[in-house]
Amino acid sequence: MTKENGKGAARSDKALAHRLKRMRAESLQPFQGSAPGDAASQEAASVDCGWGRLIFAQTFSEAEDLLDALRQEGAERRDIALYVRDPHVLLAAAPQEVFLDPSHTFRLDLSTYRSSRRQSGGYFVRRLSSEADARAVNRIYTARGMVQVRPDFFWSNRDNRAITYFVAEDDASGEIIGTVTGIDHGRAFDDPEHGSSLWCLAVDPQARHPGIGEMLVRRLAEHFSARGAAYMDLSVLHDNDQAIALYEKLGFRRVPVFAVKRKNPINEKLFARPLEAYDELNPYARLIVDEAHRRGVHVEITDAEGGFFRLSHGGRSVHCRESLSELTSGVAMSICDDKAVTRRVVERAGLMVPEQMTATGDTDAIKAFLEKHRRVVVKPARGEQGRGVAVGLETIDDVERAVSVAREVCDRVLIEACFDGEDLRLVVIDFKLVAAAVRRPPRIVGDGTKKIRSLIASQSRRRAAATGGESKIPIDAETERCLAASGLTLDSVPDEGQEVVVRKAANLHTGGSIHDVTGVVHHRLVEAAVAAARAIDIPVVGIDFMVRSPSEPDYVFIEANERPGLANHEPQPTAERFIDLLFPLSGHRAAAQALGKL
């Protein structure tokens, strides 16, 4: 090579580098037709949303600057760089660090948006106004698998002009049942396009009212419209068909806007190859698999349909079926399997148990038992997920019919005295309480026009969608019996706002709802649950009590479940404590303990 050729090559290299730099800068321009110089005239902008930062990529003039901003992502946080034009150029600069978010961006033109005349029934939408609201929002985030936000962050940002938080509150209970966050781009960085965006739309999976998500979106759209925003954008995973259908119904249209995120443990399922058969796991198995994967525990799914998987770490391997592992002995499992045996074991340990008899052909004995207790519960001696259970029976005819139904599940049927109160589930792992929750029977709320049959079907669809198909309300003889006790039928039309209990059993698989009470559960109830776990000698168990109130000491023992559904108890760290039991030296927690930081 001649000297001149060497200089020419050097000049060519410099020219190529200059072109690449210019291409990267241009790749950061938003699609909306901004002039190439607009980004350079703006200061690099981002908004801390608590769960991470929303980074406005169009305000960064250099790709390296945007990458550096993404590298500053905090621990356990999820930053999002939005409005990245030609993201393939950005990804080429750091393919091991960032990835293209597999989400679509949808836009609502606020100049043509028309509000709905429909009024919300049974709830109302308002601004987030207290730390209690913030804690409730975090509970919903956790139930939906979203990143939590420090409650004090919500409160400290209540006057932030760029961030707006709305919540939906249940009229009757005062519970927060939905939330949405809005970002005003004009107030965030003087956006010349007067944009805004919607984030963190989430509805409590236990909510009974229809249309909560729609009303939250509409309220935010009206809020930004009143502020003079030109549009409202949102990002939604490409396969979230239910959400996309809602947005399109409201007038949102897909636009070519892209987001880039960092490769981190929270985002891993978005960019890494999924475990084989992962999508076939139910929510109870998936929760544990996700926690294990996050902590570097090897996962092998052995039978997805049955919820079986093998976890391996540090030379140890444990086979599990959801929360049931090899650490639970066959003896402990057989004790839990037979409700009569369970009752005898815990009674000898000093727990309060209801009076019980075995259903035989002796009608007189059943009549005498019913006369003594006035109301009874019928359930199969063996069974799960609430199958064959009937609660609050008051007539001999109802008891005999319930016994026939229960015999379809198990030949041996038990009749118990009915204890008035609430159904409390306590999850005990390694003989310590991890979560406590009240389980309530399924109920519907009338709108003054629809029949109970239709309301049950709608509520059942929402429950199924919220639980991955695990919770549905059956329409059967038990449902008809419960309605008849209130003077109703499946064809009755309840008044607007009228609440109707459609089944007496509070089992989640038959449409019941669950409400966390870990922070208020009485210490005597905790002590009794731990005593039951020790009597059975079982490391992971769900203990069921009937209580007058979770904050009072009175209870009667109902049953023990050797395979409690840990996913039902978020935001409590059930999956974390389960993996701690199996692999105590795994994950960040063990490392922090070793360093004396915990």
pLDDT per position as a tens digit, 310-345:
999 988 999 999 999 999 999 999 999 888 899 999
* List of residues 6+ apart from 173 with CB closer than 8 A: none
**Quick check: 20 pLDDT over 60?**
no
Give me the number of domains the chain comprises. Answer: 5
Q: Can you tell me the mean pLDDT for 63-88?
A: 92
Six token digits for residue 475: 């329409």
Residue 596 has what pLDDT? 52
Which has more pLDDT, 505 or 429?
Answer: 429
Q: Can you tell me the mean pLDDT for 561-566?
A: 94
Has residue 84 been placed in a domain?
no
Judged by average pLDDT, the poorest of 148-152, 168-172, 330-334 is: 148-152
Has residue 549 been placed in a domain?
yes
CA distances from 217 to 82, 123, 159, 245, 352 (A): 20, 15, 21, 13, 49
Residue 594 has what pLDDT? 47
Task: Report the alpha-carbon distance of residue 560 to residue 424 in Å, rounded.
Answer: 12
Residue 82 has what pLDDT? 97
Six token digits for residue 220: 């935010």
Q: What is the dihedral of CA 231, 235, 241, 244, to 10 degrees?
A: 0
Task: Report the alpha-carbon distance of residue 457 to residue 501 in Å, rounded.
Answer: 14
> Residue 345 is part of which domain span?
327-354+419-440+513-564
Whether 197 contacts 185, CB under 8 Å: yes
Residue 108 has what pLDDT? 97
Residue 592 has what pLDDT? 52
Type and span of the H or E element at 358: strand 356-358
Residues 172 and 118 in one domain: yes
CA distances from 4 to 13, 15, 167, 486 (A): 14, 16, 70, 97
Residues 130 and 197 in one domain: yes
Six token digits for residue 317: 């391997």
Which has more pLDDT, 433 or 89?
Answer: 433
Task: Report the alpha-carbon distance of residue 172 to residue 490 in Å, rounded.
Answer: 24
CA distances from 453 to 23, 387, 475, 480, 488 (A): 60, 21, 8, 10, 11
Residue 537 has what pLDDT? 97
Residue 3 has what pLDDT? 38
Residues 174 and 228 in one domain: yes
Measured distance between the N- and C-terminal CA atoms of the chain, rounded to whole angstroms: 64
**Quick check: 253 pLDDT over 80?**
yes
Has residue 62 been placed in a domain?
no
How confident is the model over 106-136, as pLDDT tens digits?
Answer: 999 999 998 887 777 789 999 998 888 998 9
Residues 204 and 128 in one domain: yes
Residues 331 and 315 in one domain: no
Among 570, 566, 97, 582, smallest CA distance to 288 is for 566
Among 82, 107, 103, 85, smallest CA distance to 188 is for 82
Judged by average pLDDT, the poorest of 267-271, 307-311, 436-440 is: 267-271
Q: Can you tell me the mean pLDDT for 50-72?
A: 94
Query: Domain with 432 in it: what CATH number?
Result: 3.30.470.20
Residues 150 and 199 in one domain: yes
Whether 310 contacts 335, CB under 8 Å: no
Which has more pLDDT, 144 or 46?
Answer: 46
Mean pLDDT of the chain, nearest integer: 86
Task: Report the alpha-carbon distance of residue 562 to residue 538 in Å, rounded.
Answer: 8
Residue 23 has what pLDDT? 42
Residue 290 CB neighbour total at 10 angstroms: 20
Among 58, 62, 74, 65, smallest CA distance to 23 is for 62
Residue 9 has what pLDDT? 44
Residues 410 and 495 in one domain: no
Radius of gyration (Cα) for the chain, nearest Å?
28
Q: Can you tell me the mean pLDDT for 19-29?
A: 43
Residue 589 has what pLDDT? 55
Type and span of the H or E element at 323: none
Whether 193 contacts 230, CB under 8 Å: yes
**Quick check: 418 pLDDT over 70?**
yes
CA distances from 41 to 37, 45, 60, 494 (A): 7, 12, 9, 61
Q: Can you tell me the mean pLDDT for 427-432?
A: 97
Has residue 310 been placed in a domain?
yes
Residues 391 and 427 in one domain: no
CA distances from 498 to 207, 445, 594 (A): 15, 5, 56
**Quick check: 187 pLDDT over 50?**
yes
Residues 389 and 424 in one domain: no
Among 508, 282, 486, 284, smallest CA distance to 387 is for 508
Residues 184 and 319 in one domain: no
Q: pLDDT > 70: what percent of the chain?
A: 90
* pTM (two decimals): 0.72
User: Highest mean pLDDT range out of 21-25, 77-81, 357-361, 498-502?
Assistant: 77-81
How confident is the model over 471-519, as pLDDT tens digits?
Answer: 888 888 888 888 988 889 999 998 888 888 888 777 777 888 888 999 9
